[in-house]
Amino acid sequence: MSTADVERFFETLERPDTPNNWLVAPADFFIKPDVVTPVFQIPMSVLIDTVRSLVLQKKGAAIVEESPKA
């Protein structure tokens, strides 16, 4: 997915007005997020592997689908 595809998606995104709907994104995202994500100074592959490992340590959790790595 290209940057232009992502921008088009968010330009047309209609968010419901419910308390359980949050947009989490970097501070400099072109749409103001509800929560700012941290920026990790590690390679993306290391971050993905770390998150995968944390998920799989949780009892009853499973990874049912993964997108191709960027």
Q: What span, in angstroms and rounded, lies between the C-alpha atoms of 63 and 70?
A: 18
Tell me the pLDDT tens digit for each residue of 13-46.
888 888 889 899 888 888 889 999 988 899 988 9
Average pLDDT of the chain, as a whole number? 87
**Residue 1, Cβ density class (10 Å: 0-12 exposed, 13-18 middle, ≥19 buried):** exposed
Query: Closest Cα to residue 51, out of 36, 65, 68, 63?
Result: 63
Q: What span, in angstroms and rounded, lies between the C-alpha atoms of 18 and 20?
A: 6
Q: What percent of the chain has pLDDT over 70?
A: 94
Residue 69: predicted pLDDT: 60
Position 70 pLDDT exceeds 90 = no
Judge if pTM exceeds 0.75: no
